Each structure stands twice: as C-alpha cells, then as structure tokens.
Amino acid sequence: MSADLSPIDTAKFVAAKRASAFIESGMKVGLGTGSTAAWLVQCLGERVRNEGLSIKGVPTSSRTAELARNVGIDVISLDEARWLDITIDGADEFDGELNLIKGGGGALLQEKIVATASDRMVVIADPSKHVQTLGAFPLPVEVIPFGWQTTKALLEETITALDVLGDQITLRMNGDRAYVTDEGNHILDLHLKHIGNARQLALVLNQIPGVVENGLFIDICDIVVVGHGDGRVEIQDINEGTTEEDRIEFAETINLFSDLGE
C-alpha cells in the first residue's frame, strides 16, 4: 500500500481486502463495477497469484471484465455460470436496512441482474456511503434511447406524486454526447435529495415505458463491509442481525495497483 494513499482509498482497500476473505476456491463470483469494486478484483487477483485461489468471475461491465482478466481471474458469462455463490460490489449509498443506490458507474442493469442471481450479495464501501435516508446521491435510471425525452417527461410527472424532495432529472453525459451503457442505453439521473419510500419508488419507476431498470437495490444486499482510513473494518450482516469489527494490517510499501498502472 502506497504511503501516499488517501484515507478514502485506504478505506476502500481494507473493505475490499476483508470482503475478499468471503471467497473460497471453486466459487462462482459476481464482480462489481466502480472504484471500490476494482480494489476487490485486484485483491482477488493477488489471491489467485499467491494462494492458487481458483474461481470463476462474472463481471458486471466490460471495464471489470478487462481488469479481472488482467489480474488472472477466469472470466465467464452469467449464462455460463447460471447461478453464483456470491456477488461483491460497491454502492453509492446504503441505509440501515442495507437498501442501496447503485449505478454511479453506469452499470446498474448488469449489477442488479448479477446480484439477484447470487446466493449472497456483499457490498464494500467507505463510511461516506452510509446514509439515514437514500436520495442525496442522484438515482440512476437506465432508459432506452428511443423516445428518451418522452420517458424523461413521464418520470418528471410521476415523481411529483411520490415522497421525494427534488424533481430535477438530467441526462448523463460522456463529454458532449449522451452516456451509453454496455447495453446501448442511456441513463437519466434523478436528483431527488430524499427518498421517503424507496420500495414504492423502485416499483413505480419500472412501470414507466422506456425504463429498463432503476438503481434502487431493495432487499438484495445481505452484508455490508465498511472500511475506515485507519484500517478498521465493520461488517454488518442484515440476515444475522450482527455487526462485528475487524482490522486489516498491510505493508506501507505495497501498492496493489502498481502493475496495472492505476
């Protein structure tokens, strides 16, 4: 670990390192997308190289697939795997019931499909992702390109009747062009500020024509592993109703991403 690593990156690393301990040889593992999930993929690659860990990884984006192959993880498709032992991914927000907002990295559709095709979903995060009520982070909604402005208007009309505080909706951009997901869709970000009833909102959004999926993950996450900048880790298991603490020790001179130029 580089001595120059920021406290937030240290928190992401120790969460990923602790979560990697859930993985055993022979498992089929869903691999998330985003900066925190990238640490997890690298930690698993280290175990593949140093311990002979043998797993099948199902990535949730083309970016994760490339990273996983680079670190030596055997990558397969979800169709090949059919069902997974576990998925480990990051989150943009999580609340006390382990409901999530995901999709900041643009891969919410594949992430939700992979997570729901798993025996367990583990989220790795830093403390800033823990909120009392979801909604401060803009809620991503994946929509098909055809008629996306009509879909946006329908979303604007719908959310006015729901328990939210904000009503701004923006098309996610990639430079001067609309962002395009791995499935060729666009993302509308809903700036709701506060989501009073996440379960209701998730159901309502998916009824709107043109909406493919939304970034609310309700009753999907089983465990959250929260890393801290000092190496402490908290593990909350919603099914067992337990919270435990651990600490990850690491050498200051090791940089897990040095060989990948990240």
Name the residues annotated as catalytic: 111
| Percentages (nearest 5) of helix, strand, coil residues in the chain | 30, 25, 45
Structure tokens at 230: 């000092």
**∠ at Cα 120 (116, 121), nearest 5°?**
70
Q: How far is CA 21 from CA 15, 24, 240, in A?
A: 10, 8, 18
CA distance 178 to 137: 20
93/181 Cα distance (integer angstroms): 21
Distance between CA 196 and CA 191 in Å, rounded? 14
- Residue 55 has a CB neighbour count (10 Å cut-off) of 21
Tell me how far apart the alpha carbons of residues 56 and 87 are, in angstroms, rounded to a whole number: 12
Enumerate the known binding-site residues: 33-36, 89-92, 102-105, 129
Distance, CA of 121 to CA of 117 (rounded, Å): 9
State the Cα–Cα distance between residues 170 and 179, nearest whole angstrom: 11
Residues within the annotated binding site for substrate? 33-36, 89-92, 102-105, 129
d(CA 86, CA 32): 11
DSSP letter assigned to residue 34: S
Radius of gyration of the chain, Cα coordinates, nearest whole angstrom: 18
